[in-house]
Structure 1
Amino acid sequence: MAAALRLRPLLRALREQSLRGPLWARSPPGGVRPPRGLGTAGARWVKTPPVSGQPDPAAGQEPVVGPGDPAVGPEPPEVLLEELGLGAWTPVGLVQSALQGLHLHAGLPWWAAIVLGTVGARVALLPLVLRGQREAARLGAHLPQLQRLHQRLAEARRGSDRLRVTRAYAELAAYQRRHDVHPLRGFLVPLVQTPLFVSFFLALQKMAAAPVPGLQRGGLGWFPDLSAPDPLYALPLLVTASTLARPRAGGGDGRVQPGGGGRCARRCA
């Protein structure tokens, strides 16, 4: 009987606890359930900090992220030209793909990729340019005699004597073959060089108009944004100055000197 009287308060407390429900059902959000085996009497709920990158609903906090946070993940890959509709199988698209290859595979910034691509194109055309300069110098040495033969052919064509026209044309062709000169060879360098660098210009213009996201932070010095005009206009001035200084530094440009052409014409006649 005495033991039953001592257990009665404990049984009453357990009945009231069962009516109220378990303690973890009334825990505040973000709390931690107390460990088992320690009892529920006087147990306190411990507030835990939110996981990085997840909001705290109880305190109304926003997600906390930062560099290097696992919740952020790796940086997104750079946008490719194909995703912007660039880099097709055209001269302009091939130039854009070549610049992108230098940027991605060689690890160069965009300004260095553009500089290296332009220098590479110049070096590739160097043998053709040297040959064109030799042809221009050779043509300039024989230009007076060629002009005389062309004038004779034009006079023959104005007449009605076909034999005279044939003879004038044969003399012109024999002179060109004997001295290995032809006026059309002078157009070889512009015929190859002009489309290439026009393609470079159009490729960069379309990439800046898209714009390619990498160009907006791929500049150098006072022009960090390659898709925007030069704020100081220094680059256009440098290009203009280099273009004007190139003929002065080159020296011989294939033009006939007043005295040398006549001596050559008399010797070759």
Structure 2
Amino acid sequence: MFGSIFAPIEYILTVALAALYSLTEQFGVPSYGLAIILLTVLVKILVYPLTKKQLKSMKAMQRIQPQMKKLQDKYKNNPQVLQQKLMELYQKEGANPMSGCLPMLIQMPILMGMYYTLYSFDYGGAAPSFAWMPSLSEPDPTYALPILSAATTLMQQWMMSTGEVTPQMRMMMVIMPIFIGWISLQFPAGLVLYWVTMNVVQIVQQGWTNRQDDDKEAA
């Protein structure tokens, strides 16, 4: 069902992946692994404006978490006043709890399209191996890629947690990388390579966005 919904995006990504593979052939290094990395970087660059907006919104919400907690404790028995005070806080600090959702929702079809593209991609026997991986269509037998997927997921979450870290957030920062590492043991190496590359690019973009914000605050 969901595969058919994302079929148009899957088709575009499949064509793009084949084109990038042809590009690697022209440079004398035919590699679907390299093509996957190039496609992932290209997609992340194209959606960076949306990513930047989402990151800024999340950072703003994390920054005002202590103030929100005080208001929630103070007006816990008066939900109507609490909502009013929270809205005033959002307006004062330029934060919007919903502004980070739209960019994420827009990017979700691309993420799902990449998933369906790489989960069952037909490499046609053309350079299916990459680096230490004997086949991009099979799980990595060395476990190195699943470990990288868990490690980069943990680092990405850590970089996004710029404000106060609640016990729930701390638990998610532990559970999510473990879960990602576990499912990476089952997934084709090509799909996990995409996930690792996406995390690395996201970490770089997060660092760049944070640096820009710090420079603005220092100016």
1:126 maps onto 2:48 in alignment = yes
Distance in 2, matches of 1:257 and 1:205, equals 34
1:253 maps onto 2:142 in alignment = no
Distance in 1, matches of 2:93 and 2:132, equals 53
Say which SS state the counterpart of residue 100 (structure 2) adopts.
helix
Say which SS state the counterpart of residue 104 (structure 1) adopts.
helix
**Matched residues, number:** 158
Identify, as 1 or 2, the structure richer in helix: 2
Letter in 2 for 1:124: L
Displacement of 1:233: 2.6
1:185 maps onto 2:82 in alignment = no
Say which SS state the counterpart of residue 147 (structure 2) adopts.
helix
1:196 maps onto 2:114 in alignment = no
Tell which has more relative contact order, 1 or 2 (C-alpha 8 A, sep 6+). Answer: 2
TM-score by length of 1: 0.47
Largest Rg, 1 or 2: 1
Letter in 2 for 1:183: P
Q: Deviations over 1:192-231 (max 9, x none)?
A: 4444333212211121xxx43145x332243343223323
Note the residue ranges of structure 1 that are not aligned, 5 or more in a row. Answer: 1-85, 158-164, 259-269
TM-score by length of 2: 0.56
Letter in 2 for 1:236: P
> Which one of the candidate residues 143, 146, 150 is aligned to 2:68?
146
Alignment correspondent of 1:237 = 147
Note the residue ranges of structure 2 that are not aligned, 5 or more in a row. Answer: 167-219
Letter in 2 for 1:186: G
Say which SS state the counterpart of residue 184 (structure 1) adopts.
coil
Paired residues for 1:44-83 under 5 Å: none
1:213 maps onto 2:124 in alignment = yes
Distance in 2, matches of 1:151 and 1:182, equals 21
Letter in 1 for 2:64: H
> Which one of the candidate residues 65, 81, 89 is aligned to 1:175?
89
Distance in 1, matches of 2:106 and 2:40, equals 15
Alignment correspondent of 1:135 = 57
1:97 maps onto 2:15 in alignment = yes
